[in-house]
Amino acid sequence: MKEEKQEMEKMEKQIAMVIDLNKCIGCQTCTISCKRLWTNEPGMEYMYWNIVNTVPGEGTPRGWEKMGGGWKDGNLNYGKIPTEEEFGKAWEFNFDEVYYKGNAQKEHLKPLGDRPEWGPNWDEDKGAGQFPNSYYFYLPRICNHCSKPACLAACPLKAIYKREEDGVVVHDGDKCKGTRLCHSACPYKKVYFNTAKNMSQKCIACFPRLEKNVAPACVRQCPGRARHFGYINDKEGQVYKLVNDWKVALPLHPEFGTEPNVFYIPPQLPAKLNPDGTIDENAPRIPLGYLEELFGSGVGNVLEIIKKEREKKEYSELMALLISRKWEDMMKPFHQPPVKEG
Amino acid sequence: MTVKKEKENELPRRGFCKECVKYSVALSAFSLFPGISNWAANAAERKEILKNPLSPSGGICNPAPVDFEKFYRQKWTWDKVHLGTHNVNCWFQQNCNFHVYTKEGKVIREEQVGNYPQTNSKVPDFNPKGCQKGCSYSELMYSKPRILNPLKREGERGEGKWKEVSWDEALTDIAGKLIDTIDRHGSKTVVVDPGSNIVNYLAFYSMFRFFDQLDSVILDVNCELGDDQQGAAVTFGEITNDRSADDYFYSDLVFIWGGNPAYTQIPNFHFLTEARYNGTKIVAISPDMNASAIHADYFIPVKPGTDSALANAISYILINEKLYKHDLICEQTDLPFLVRIDNNKLLRQSDLKKNGSSEILYRWNLNINKPQQADQATLNLGTCNPALEGEFKVKTINGIVTVQPVFEFLKKQLADFSPENASKICGVAPETIRKLAMMLVNAKAATNTCTSNFSKFYHGDILVRSQILAFILSGHLGRKGSGYVTASFLVPDGGVNLVYELEQVKERGLYYMAKYGASFWTNLYKSEDWRYTLYKYHIDTFVDSRSMVNSTLFWNLHGGIIEVSGRTKEWDPYLKRNINEYIKETLDKNWQVLDPALNTQPRVLFSWAGNSIRRVRSSQQLLKVLWPKLDLVVALEMRLSSTAMWADYVLPVNGAYEKTTTMVANTNTLSPFLHTTNKATENTGNSKDEWEIACLLAKKIQELSIQRNIRTFTSARKRIRRFDEMYNTLTATIKENESEKISKKIVDESSNLGDDAWNKMKKKGFVKFTGVGNDPANFGNACDIKPGETISPHTWHTENKKPWMTLSRRIQFYIDHDWYLELKEQLPIHKNPPKAGGDYPLVLTSGHARWSIHSLWRTDPLMLRLQRGEPFLLMSESDAQKRGIADDDKTKVYNDVGYMLTRVKVSPNVQPGQVIMYHGWESYQFAEWKSYRNVLASPLNPIEMVGDYPYLKPIMAVRQPGQNDRDTRVEVVKN
């Protein structure tokens, strides 16, 4: 594995994203922006190419972290194919019964059918731990446009390809016949099935926008300004600096082996409280073990670096990057507006 | 090749072997697919290729398609783009500049423009703003709850039986009923609830003009809904006071105290996360670990409604250890003002000489060892060195009295609030209280995030008064990044010109001629103190003007809510008299406005831009007591809301993107931009905009009045008004199809939007406010807006020494109104929250939701799918366990005034003893429509009814009785 890693060349033009978990406020604007642009047609109702989960939590699909997939010792792993229930169905509602059928107060607005047991954001704002030292944060997830995509490897029909110009991984809808082996192989479970068109689909990194140097919708529309975006090898870009210079942006579950191109700045939550109500400045609220589960063993060190830079009185390049006073700097060279002014 | 899909996780079977159901068998299934054997056989080759799928040698393992990519490219296309925003009352978040994309005339999506400026290079810029709600408005506007045609009720009210009728039929019927009602019963029997969506200026202008023509009762709902900011109103004299979101970058300490900006200030929250990286310390104080607290450096859980004890303890430390900022409080506050120890009243000139003023107050000048008048025109101390401590003797016209500065009284009362004592009340450890106090002392610039939360507590005024005290004592006021902020508010001042179009103002003009005639107005702007004079004019004339009526009193006394809320004495341990006594006194003495009079029955109710059945606490009482009195209930609505379900007529109003309008009232200093939203598409269905509806209705009234020969009516001020000219008068300058002119008018006539504002807004989507302007509603900000600088409020006081709009002309902590003295609330000293609704173990708190602006998005499927589809009560793990309640269980939540039926969400972030129901859910989202309104006792607090005190008089939106709910006590059982 290590040998492969060293031989592995990142593509010349590979787009990558850094999501700052200190800035994500779980508003799901990214989720909705993606939905309104790409997945608002019949057969796509349950799809959330982007979703934000509250963690610790079972996530979307439910229990995805244990569903398998990815690479192990150079071999492709086939994991579970998540069901629509596990993703969370797109509930329809009994509007007519409530509004127009003369049911007075006997009907109330709710999802049709049996009470759902899960939804794509069912455990929002829950997390783990015990009050007042409970902890949670938000984890936005999209397709990672991996450099070693398990989905691509798994497709028996070669219907998944990686674009040369930007490394975006796309399902070719003309070739896909719906075997769903990609669902099984993707360890992040970010592939969906279009029930109207009988094909698999997933995040396409908004490549039509990239072609116009416009950042993906989830990046550009995020009000939290939580996402940095650019070419992974652009030494002047924020992504490169955060991933390679400062090394504070970490991949999610690197052990899956797919070499994801989405990275995360780990979160720092408030100080814990002692049983007597005094503040413990030193004990981390999020157990380090949990963060290591997500981001690997380097996460503790990353938190230290960020803390140190934040305490500096003088200029810190890292803080300047994470603050990004100019919003456009976060997505260069994809900072062009979709519509030119004037 | 179409393949029959059996189960979700099954490989398509095509009638092949049944074992192909498990994923583990996928490998063997490879043999079923064409070309798969090639793939499997070349596993080694595949591995090699996959090392670098697009290797320099050109070995592409999966070729890119020739044609397929256009499948996605064509999705991201559009015919036209318009600039737009959302005319909703998202207040602190407001508004965000969007591009609205249409295809074949229909809106397909929207996306933030991202063209806000960066104020200066030190601070982050405002981009992109927006939130998930605005980014999906294009879905909401066409979704199922949308009403396409006027609806007329068939069957009983609330039954849900409707007939679609034409506009003509609906308006004819409504117009006829209006004429009959006013003719027979008088104009004040027609009542309009403007709602909170009158921030859309089209709605505001049309509502005010139309109902002014009819001399109707126009309800003032701000205090009722709980945005009254009473604590700020009585302490600062004005409630508006907030910094721009980028000014937070100058704060080294930010308290998120009581609010939840991660939910309610989504577009601006990044300024806080960025400030945090910049070294700012963030402290979140709230009962539960809400979504904002996770972004703080410290989370301080506090028992609900006890923040005043915490604040008092901080002040205790500051005073006892002499850490307070002596010079600041001497100059800016009433803490050095002299109070008589015999009657606890402020020493007044009227005490010292015959015919002396009751508004001139005194400080003890240590330089001359005498009491000295406090200057009313400036805060400059001049040669005065005021005493904060000591006891002095003063010769009054009735003999020698002993006086002490307010500060001495404060010290005495704060003595009960040592950190150890306060800790027992608020649940914060003494050392932590001390830590917070020292953080405030040591911070260069401390501030808080604005919130409307505390206004919704019974003692909300004390909560905020005590917080302001702690901030002022520690020196944080009127500087960059420094000071306690209250309501964020900044409006285009062209709106004041509306008065020239109102009949009621013309009528009042005659009434006021002597005192406020032409010379008053011509001389007004010549004086240096003109803002104070103007503000005082509004304070002194609001009640008499009866231009708007406090909705809390209306709903309580005409709507039967008093049966619930009048039980204050049962729940408030400090109240000695029954609330009815206070109400009688306030109405007899004309301190607060109630129309129609108690002996006059309301008969027609319009819901113009709101949702009273959803909004009003204990609204079930309205259905029981008020609704039977009403001959006609009309709701203008985009969608079938709770109120619409109980109406006789529902008139479909159009929404954002379907009309051009501009915003008022939710515009603010926080994001100091004024937006237009432009017409990008035709009205959905047969909806119309508010102005067109008002004009068409006026036309019907005019026509019918001539037909029936009921051409005039008499106003409450006994003047003749004409039905038969109503349409002509209404449309004298703007016709029903010229709505855009309404927005253009307010923009053109505003002095605080810069030059050529309308054209700039049309081109860019917004303009930046250039100043506070001439609208008294803005004066509380008391600062300039300078290009290249962030906005820091209150600098006119701290830098220019301009007085405050209070009795003392200082930040007023001591209020000697008789009721304040009776209730022992003259100083901001903590009082335990009432057990509203009865002695039950759980406190029901609330807040505005992430998922909706009020109720507008509460029924939207896209939003509901990302929640749990139905409302839920948040509950702590221990409380749920004790009651045998599991996550998502159905429960009954009850107290002495009612019950609701709801599911539960168990969360480790909720404080034991607390339960939370976020706001905005429609009544019909609860089983049997038993919503949380049923348990909200909302006890009336007499302190909000005072009048006849120089500045403690109601004006529009401020210092009126309000509703509250965050002290509600309940029990929860599995249902």
Contact list in A for residue B149 (CB cut-off 8 A) is: none
Neighbours of B849 (CB within 10 A): 22
Q: What pLDDT is attached to residue B521?
A: 85
Q: What pLDDT is attached to residue B43?
A: 56
pLDDT over 80 (residue B581) = yes
Q: By three-state DSSP, how is residue A321 classified?
A: helix
Q: What pLDDT is attached to residue B390?
A: 98
User: What gap in Å lies between CA B342 and CA A339, rounded to an integer?
Assistant: 72
User: What gap in Å lies between CA B184 and CA B174, rounded to an integer?
Assistant: 15
Q: Is A10 at the interface with chain B, CB within 8 A?
A: no
Longest dimension (CA), chain B: 112
Q: What pLDDT is attached to residue B6?
A: 36
User: Do B315 and B470 touch, CB atoms closer than 8 A?
Assistant: yes
Least confident segment among A277-286, B280-289, B529-538, B582-591? B529-538
Q: Tell me the pLDDT band of B100, cut-offs 50, 70 and 90.
A: very high
The answer to whether the CB atoms of B12 and A271 lie below 8 A apart is no
Q: What pLDDT is attached to residue B663?
A: 84
Least confident segment among A296-305, B65-74, B400-409, B839-848? B65-74
Give the chain A residue nearest B292 (alpha carbons).
Answer: A25
Strand-pairing partners, residue A214, are A335
User: Do B275 and B813 touch, CB atoms closer than 8 A?
Assistant: no
Q: Tell me the pLDDT band of B93, cut-offs 50, 70 and 90.
A: confident
As a whole number, the mean pLDDT across chain B is 92
Residue numbers of A between 180 and 219 with CB closer than 8 Å to B: 180-181, 184, 193, 195, 198, 204, 206-209, 211, 217
Percent of chain B with pLDDT over 70: 93
Shortest alpha-carbon distance between residue A68 and chain B (Å): 11
Q: Tell me the pLDDT band of B29, cut-offs 50, 70 and 90.
A: very low
User: Do A332 and A214 touch, CB atoms closer than 8 A?
Assistant: no
DSSP state at residue B92: G
The answer to whether the CB atoms of A108 and B295 lie below 8 A apart is no
- Tell the burial category of B662 from Cβ atoms under 10 Å away from its Cβ (0-12, 13-18, 19+): buried
User: Do A237 and A244 touch, CB atoms closer than 8 A?
Assistant: no
Over residues A134-139, mean pLDDT:
98
Please report, as a single letter, which amino acid is at residue B858.
Answer: R
Neighbours of A289 (CB within 10 A): 9
Q: Which residues contact B699 (CB under 8 A, 6 or more apart)?
A: B727, B736
Q: What is the pLDDT of residues B622-677, one digit of tens each?
A: 999 999 999 999 999 999 999 999 999 999 999 999 999 888 878 999 999 999 88
Residue A56: asked if its preceding bond is cis (omega within 30°), the reply is: yes
CATH 2.40.40.20 fits B842-974, yes or no: yes
User: What is the side-by-side strand order in the sheet with B673-677?
Assistant: B661-662, B673-677, B766-768
What φ, ψ does residue B496 adopt, rounded to 5°? -65, -20
Class of domain B163-225+492-560+600-667+689-751 (CATH, top level): alpha beta
Q: Tell me the pLDDT band of B47, cut-offs 50, 70 and 90.
A: low
Question: Token pair of A137, please?
Answer: 């944060």
Nearest-CB residue to A163 (from B64, B122, B298): B64
Shortest alpha-carbon distance between residue B412 and chain A (Å): 28
Q: What is the pLDDT of residues B792-827, one digit of tens each?
A: 999 999 999 999 999 999 999 999 999 999 999 999
Helix (H) or strand (E) holding B154: strand B151-154
Over residues A225-244, mean pLDDT:
97
ipTM over 0.95: yes
Nearest-CB residue to B9 (from A83, A181, A270): A83
pLDDT over 50 (residue B274) = yes
Q: What pLDDT is attached to residue B46?
A: 53
pLDDT over 80 (residue B32) = no
Contact list in B for residue A11 (CB cut-off 8 A) is: 52, 54
Over residues A24-35, mean pLDDT:
98
User: What gap in Å lies between CA B271 and CA B671, rounded to an integer?
Assistant: 11
Q: What pLDDT is attached to residue A342?
A: 55
The answer to whether the CB atoms of B111 and A221 lie below 8 A apart is yes
Contact list in A for residue B1 (CB cut-off 8 A) is: 177
Q: What is the pLDDT of residues B177-189, one digit of tens each?
A: 999 999 999 999 9
Size of interface A-B (CB pairs under 8 A): 366
pLDDT over 80 (residue B125) = yes
Q: What pLDDT is attached to residue B44?
A: 60
Shortest alpha-carbon distance between residue A213 and chain B (Å): 14
Over residues B480-503, mean pLDDT:
94
User: What gap in Å lies between CA B614 and CA B933, rounded to an integer?
Assistant: 8
Q: Quick check: do B163-225+492-560+600-667+689-751 and B842-974 share a fold?
A: no
pLDDT over 60 (residue B334) = yes
pLDDT over 80 (residue A223) = yes
Over residues A264-269, mean pLDDT:
98
Q: What pLDDT is attached to residue B963?
A: 97
pLDDT over 90 (residue B452) = yes
Q: Is A257 at the interface with chain B, CB within 8 A?
A: no
Q: What pLDDT is attached to residue B11?
A: 36
Question: Token pair of B29, please?
Answer: 């299934």
Please report, as a single letter, which amino acid is at residue B253.
Answer: L
Question: From residue A226, how far is each of A57, A321, B113, B699 by CA, in Å?
Answer: 21, 11, 17, 53
Q: What pLDDT is attached to residue B42?
A: 52
Give the chain A residue nearest B294 (alpha carbons).
Answer: A269
What φ, ψ does residue B179 adopt, rounded to 5°? -60, -50
Shortest alpha-carbon distance between residue A90 and chain B (Å): 6
Of A228, A207, A231, the closest CA to residue A219 belongs to A228
pLDDT over 60 (residue B579) = yes
Domain ranges of chain B: 13-88+103-141, 163-225+492-560+600-667+689-751, 842-974
Question: Token pair of A318, please?
Answer: 């890292």
Over residues B375-396, mean pLDDT:
97
pLDDT over 50 (residue B305) = yes
Over residues A312-335, mean pLDDT:
97
